[in-house]
Amino acid sequence: MNAVSWMRLPPFIWGALLMIGAGVRFLPAAPGGPPLNLFSGGAVIAAAGLWLCYCLFSFRMHHTSPDPRMTPQNLITDGPFRLSRNPIYLGMALLMAGIGILLAGWIFVVTTLLFVLLVTLTNILPEERVLEACYGDAYLRYKKRVRRWL
C-alpha cells in the first residue's frame, strides 16, 4: 500500500481525527455537565453502532463487500441506502459526534466536520465514479433520488 492509498481508508482518517479530538481535551469543554453529556453522548454512540450494524447486515444480504477497495458486486438501494448513499461513513461521523458529546469536547465538532470533508473528497467522490462506471443509468437514477449524506 503506497503513501496515498492509505489516506483513502476511512478508518485511518476517522481514527486520526478522533485522536486529535481526544488529544486537545485540555481546551475548554462544551457546556452541559456530566449527566447530560454522558446520556446524550451514549445515546448517539449506541444509535451509531446500531446503524453501522444495519449497514453491514445490508451488505451481507446483498452478497457484496463493504470494503470500498473491492469491486462492487451489487448496487444496494434499499435498507440504510434508501436514506443515504454513504450510510457507513454517516455512521462513522455519528459515532465521532457521539464521542465528542460524551467527552464534552467542542473540538469534535471541528474534527467531525473535517472527517466529512476529507472522506467526501478522498473516498466518496472516487467511489461514485466507480459505481457510475459499473452500474451506469441505474446508479445515476439512484444518485438523483438519494442524497450523499442525509
pLDDT digits (tens, 9 = 90+) for 93-109: 999 899 888 887 778 88
In the block, residue with C-alpha cell 500500500: 1
pLDDT tens for 35-53 read 677 788 888 999 999 999 9
pLDDT at 78 over 70: yes
**Residue 92 cell numbers, joined:** 462513522
- Is 19 within the bounds of a domain? no
**Domain of residue 79, residue span:** 32-66+73-145
Q: Would residue 15 count as lying in a domain?
A: no
In a domain? residue 3:
no
Residue 40: per-residue pLDDT: 84
CA dihedral 39, 40, 42, 48 (to 10 degrees): 160
Q: Has residue 1 got a pLDDT over 70? A: no
The pTM of this model reads 0.81
- Is 10 a member of any domain? no
Q: What whole-number distance in Å separates Cα of residue 21 and Cα of residue 31?
A: 16
**How big is the chain, counted in residues?**
150
What is the spatial distance between Cα 99 and Cα 47, in angstroms, rounded to a whole number?
12
Q: What's the structural domain count of the chain?
A: 1
Residue 6 lies in a domain: no
- Tell whether 40 is covered by a domain: yes
53 belongs to a structural domain: yes
Residue 17 forms part of a structural domain: no
